Amino acid sequence: MAAAERTQFSPTFGVEFEFALATLEPGKEDPHPNDPRQVYGLTPRKRIPTADLDDDDNYDWSSLLTVEQHIVETLTRAGIPVLGESAVSGDTSEVSTSWVVSTDYSVEGPKDPLNYVWYPMEIQSPAFHFTEAAIQNVKFVCSILAETYRINVNESCGLHVHVGNMTNGYSLKQLKCFMATVWTFEPQLDFLHPAHRLNNKYCEGLRKHAAINHFKSPAQVLVEIKNAADANCILAMMRVTPLSKSAYEISNLCQPPIEEIKRTIEFRQHEGCIDPRAVEQWIRTCVGIVEFAAEVDEDAWFEQLLEYIEMDREDFSVVKALMVLGLPLQARYYGLKLFK
């Protein structure tokens, strides 16, 4: 591929962390008294008894906003530009350069809450250029959260990674190659995720739920992707169950573009996580897959994919798939993690 073609892709990324955060009311016994992380003083002294997020009329919004503000102040002291969602104005420049702390109502606390009151939180990063400094920034935020708060990530939580091409969106060729890649290697990539992320309405798999899957064989779908006339055709093929999200969400790439949305591919399948190293490796994997698809020769790659798609996961592992995609460090990382 010519160098001029390769320069058309300039990777950017953003992350979203979902987690439950523990607090204790005054007078409540600490279930883990030797844990130095803060749980008292995160909410007002008098909290409305209900913590039912479905009860909008009675929910204790003041406590939720106080927790949000506490996280904002913690990150601000560490030098991280950050806003609480409740303080976000119409100035999009603020959001584009700041982390945003908000609430995610899909997040649940652990099944045994002990004495804690758990709050459903989400933190979104700004859009970063894919650089080492950006990766370190994300890892730093993970470390601050883990060292300051008692956090629970459970089956209701996810780690989402958005990958963009600056503000340019993706060419049809890039989108075709990306979707063909994840369609082909989805059985292998699924091996990186726990069972509760494989049949989940917030990250539905393509092979099981994509609209086109009901009428074509996997190899035939590759041909359909290759012959797609435009981005909207691919979106229609890969549309999953109504009111659900795809593990590889491309709805933001509709044509004509909607100005207010991110022109990104969103990887939604990873389980909830704030471990710095695990987050780093997943970001590198997501960006690496998109970058490979953006730069590969389309015709030659589709010919190879028609061979790979006939191989099963036992004969062609996720480690081999990552090597094919030019990600040897991630192949080693996940290989050691999965097959130790």
Mean pLDDT of 269-290: 99
Looking at residue 37, its pLDDT comes to 98
Least confident of 50-64, 145-159, 269-283, 296-310: 50-64
Token pair for 279: 């987050």
Query: Residue 256 pLDDT more than 90?
Result: no
Dump pLDDT digits (tens) for 53-88. Answer: 444 444 566 788 899 999 999 999 999 999 999 888
Token pair for 56: 């909008």
Reference 84, options 96, 63, 99; nearest CA is 99
Counting Cα atoms < 13 Å in the Cβ hemisphere of 337 gives: 16
Q: How big is the chain, counted in residues?
A: 340
Looking at residue 60, its pLDDT comes to 62
- The band of 92, judged by pLDDT with boundaries at 50, 70 and 90, is low
pTM, entire model: 0.92
- The band of 156, judged by pLDDT with boundaries at 50, 70 and 90, is very high
- The residues spanned by each domain of the chain are 12-156, 166-339
Mean pLDDT of 143-159: 98
Buried b (16+ CB within 10 A) or exposed e, 187-203: bbbbebbeeebeebebb
User: pLDDT higher for 258 or 225?
Assistant: 225
User: pLDDT higher for 158 or 92?
Assistant: 158
Round to whole Å and give the CA distance between 247 and 200: 9
Round to whole Å and give the CA distance between 109 and 152: 7
Query: Residue 1 pLDDT more than 70?
Result: no
User: pLDDT higher for 219 or 4?
Assistant: 219
Terminal alpha carbon distance of the chain: 38
